[in-house]
A and B are shown apart, each in its own frame.
Chain A
């Protein structure tokens, strides 16, 4: 008998993924196509980033994908000089939070932006990236 196929696409997300199986696995396919996607509840219109497969507002599971587009305001950031196990080769790197108005996105700042150039309130955009180890992710870039 053939082994049951496991949909573990999510293990491709980020430098080290700690999750392999999730109903939001399509997020990874979208990353491969160059799109960073959140989810929207078809019933009540609630927007979610990071994406969710279930709506906590109306307790329904009727979601559709939307693309994170345009620019977001930099809410805060921090450059790490030490990393957890598995991230040593990436150091130093800068994590950050962008505010898109109706949702926010947490991620990393592109290494192409010098740390000194960062300031809270500046506009950045979210772009997909392939990491040096072949994993998929996204970074915040200059507009």
Chain B
């Protein structure tokens, strides 16, 4: 069996209040990926649409979007695993291509979150957890991750300052990413200044500054089998490893509160399949929906030992010039987190890095990149390893 390559990547700008419908939003990311791949819609054999469905009024968005993008009568499928929907779609597309069912598959991830209020949005995200046994207590995404932060701080001595450093790094790159929703600089002082909303607690110990911003956006990744990838693309980026895992939805079903087991498990699978180790990774995108999530990802992916993630960020090793650059596009924290589009956007960043096309954000000569995309509070986890 041949390899599977990525031949086109695209994303819309991530914005507050996209002035259009979901099909128009999906078009933005798709158009960029098609221009990148320099192919036509007839070259695409199937499409996978990925989002978290509770944000939109449209039932079964796949058909509507496939039609709008000119991808009929080819088959279209809908995939969801909340925040990791579009990287889950990569695993499905990879499988379909490997099975010989389709040669070229486009994945379009999107989310238009702005049509509902922030608290309604949080309530829906809370329902990504266990609605029967936990949501009746008034749970929210930040509070779950805050429980992980509390446990991490207690066990490893991680501090609020350590977490703030991750946000400062994100903003360093968010400022130079023209697709990011949050393009302002962030300083350590903002986390202690009572005048700054960054210091305001959301769910203790996490503050506003520790949380990513809701945004509307879309992304598109086009995958092809080896033969087509080589024929169609000058610089295909190859999928070297894919790992995926799931975890108990209820916190009561979990033993580890200082890391995400799905990140550990999916990472192990992806490293084994790619035949590489954490040391071989030259650039990474990790799921930093909250600062603590990036801290745990360092440790869960083996970039640092458990409890030593704080040293990695303190020594700036995850900056662009460091030994393992992480989220040098601003991450979810600055770029924004349009649920269904996020995984595809992370993959786009790594593909551009491996093609040496990341502009100001470019890491020096990377050969192998990693994408870590989490759904819910560590409910689903996907790790994808890419190489040029």
Contact = CB atoms under 8 A, between A and B. Distances in A.
Contacts of A106: 133-134, 137, 250-252
Interface string B126-159: 1100111111111110111011111100100000
A108 B137 contact: yes
Contacts of B253: 104
Interface stretch (B45-53, B76-84, B196-204, B335-343): B196-204
Interface stretch (B89-97, B116-124, B309-317): B116-124
Interface string B175-214: 0000000000000000000000000111111100000000
B136 A15 contact: yes
Which of B142, B250, B251, B254 has the most chain A CB within a 10 Å cutoff? B251
B145 to A, nearest CB: 8
A78 interface: yes
Contact of B154 (A10, A79, A120): A120
Contacts of B252: 49-50, 97, 103-106
Given A18-B131, A84-B126, A90-B138, A75 B250 contact: no
B203 A107 contact: no
Given A83-B140, A85-B120, A95-B137, A120 B151 contact: yes
Given A79-B203, A106-B137, A86 B251 contact: no
A15 B204 contact: no
B359 to A, nearest CB: 37
Interface in B304-344: none
B137 A14 contact: yes
A81 B138 contact: no
B69 interface: no
A136 B150 CA distance: 28
Nearest to A27: B133
A117 B281 CA distance: 43
B257 interface: yes
A62 interface: no
B251 A137 contact: no
A106 B122 CA distance: 19
A76 B150 CA distance: 6
A61 interface: no
Nearest to A85: B123
B203 A80 contact: yes
B146 A83 contact: no
Given A76-B257, A85-B123, A120-B150, A18 B132 contact: yes
A77 B147 contact: yes
Interface in A67-91: 75-87, 90
Among A17, A78, A96, the one with the most B-chain Cβ atoms within 10 Å of its Cβ is A78
Nearest to A118: B150
A60 to B, nearest CB: 19
A70 to B, nearest CB: 16
Contacts of A90: 138
Contacts of A120: 150-151, 154
A9 to B, nearest CB: 13
A103 B137 CA distance: 19
Given A18-B131, A106-B252, A81 B136 contact: no
Interface of A: 10, 13-19, 22, 49-50, 75-87, 90, 93, 95-97, 103-108, 115, 119-121, 137
Nearest 8 interchain pairs by C-beta: A14-B136, A84-B123, A87-B138, A78-B146, A50-B133, A104-B252, A18-B131, A76-B151
